[in-house]
Amino acid sequence: MPLFTKNGKTDDKDIDYVAFDNWDQTEPAAVDVPIDVLPENIVPLIANIQSIKIEFPTFSDGRGFTLARSIRDNGYTGNLRASGHLITEQFSQAIDCGFDEIQIDEQLAARQAANDWSYVERRTYRDKLRSSNPSGKFFPVPDGVWSETVTAVQHFSDNLFRFRITRPDGFRFRSGEFAMIGLPNAENPVFRAYSIASPAWDEELEFYSIKVPNGPLTQFLQRIKPGDQVLIKRKATGTLVNDVLLPGSRLWMLSTGTGIAPFASLIRDPETYEKFENLYLVHTARTHDELQCGYDITEKTRIDPLVGEHAAKQMIHYASTTRETSKQMGRITTLIENGKIFSDLGVSGLSPETDRIMICGSIQMIKDLKDICIKNGFTEGSHREAGTFAVERAFAG
């Protein structure tokens, strides 16, 4: 099976692991340790263990990281292997927790490019602070705020980019919520609401951002690179979550620009496929480059080991441009009102009896689509009472 280390892909080692329950603890051995073994039950035995393998049964089960860290913190210096259901986004975290190598099966490896198994070095607090604040002046992290490390940055165009950061221990959110993001470049840093594009089970947090040359935050945020520091407030919230909608046959996720972010989270959440029979991810932007994030995330979702099978059958991606010529053109409001989107997809128009709608984008787009929903008999949902459509109120003006 494919084996990855901090230095990249390597040949699988011929190590004969013995199951923990079958191990004669008086004899040195390579041991396969279950993920539910308590650290206090393994730490006294580490002197007789030549190599440890910890099996990850699911991507969302983080107990293996905790167990690895405890083993290392208690002095284990032998080989430590993570095996099973792991994804590329968890690789750096696994290395930082003390694993020497990560082993996955052939089928899982085929769904994840070998080049994506790359390690992002975690630098010291002051190094990270200096990178995101070139002036060299250090500001304390405010109360109620975490300081996290950038692990990846991708620029789609001159106006749009995405970035990923480490996920703070204890940070909980529901797929579709947003968080307050800032930079450590001032005594009173500027914070802005950013929808979390990664699903609730992800070990990292992903965000999309536009680039505003003189924006109080984005003029600096667009310059970040892996290893830099980003601030995130401790509470996530938002209205674009599954709970605010009544069950229905079809879920329409209508977005413009970076408004696709909460839906990038929701389409990778198994609960979404359980609640709705069909998902329609609709994304409009000015140019084709600004649609790329949508193409990337849908392609990745369809081969995702957790939800890929459901996404391939239940999710449809519809993208259009408003300025640059492309196969499909037009604003979402126009495409709905003239019925073109429904004829293109070969489906019936919107009905509150069968359809549920989520909306995220510009203030004007949200207002226009909300008016269309109400005109067609849809009722707005909230945390107090579920409805047939929802908007992200934080961005609705």
CA distance 297 to 374: 30
The CA–CA distances, whole Å, from 114 to 60, 237, 384, 395 equal 21, 35, 45, 38
pLDDT of residue 134: 47
What residue type is assigned to position 382 of the chain?
Answer: S
The rounded Cα 108 to chain-centroid distance in angstroms is: 18
The dihedral of CA 293, 299, 305, 311: what is its sign?
positive
Share above pLDDT 90 across residues of the chain, in percent, rounded to a whole number: 62
Q: Which residues contact 126 (CB under 8 A, 6 or more apart)?
A: 138
Q: Which residues contact 93 (CB under 8 A, 6 or more apart)?
A: 65, 166, 203, 204
DSSP alpha helices (H): ranges in the chain?
Answer: 39-42, 63-73, 91-96, 106-110, 125-132, 218-221, 261-266, 270-275, 292-302, 308-314, 332-337, 340-345, 363-375
pLDDT of residue 96: 82
Question: Counting Cβ atoms within 10 Å, is residue 141 exposed (0-12), middle (13-18) or buried (19+)?
Answer: middle
Mean pLDDT taken over the chain = 88
Domains and CATH numbers, the chain: 3-116 (3.20.20), 125-233 (2.40.30.10), 242-395 (3.40.50.80)
pLDDT of residue 214: 85
The string of DSSP codes covering 315-330 is EEEEEEESSS--SSBS
pLDDT digits (tens, 9 = 90+) for 139-167: 778 888 999 999 999 998 889 999 999 99
pLDDT digits (tens, 9 = 90+) for 242-290: 999 999 999 999 999 999 999 999 999 999 999 999 999 999 999 999 9
Q: Which residues of the chain have pLDDT under 50?
A: 122-132, 134-135, 396-397
pLDDT of residue 50: 92
End-to-end Cα separation, the chain, in angstroms: 52
CA distance 32 to 151: 30
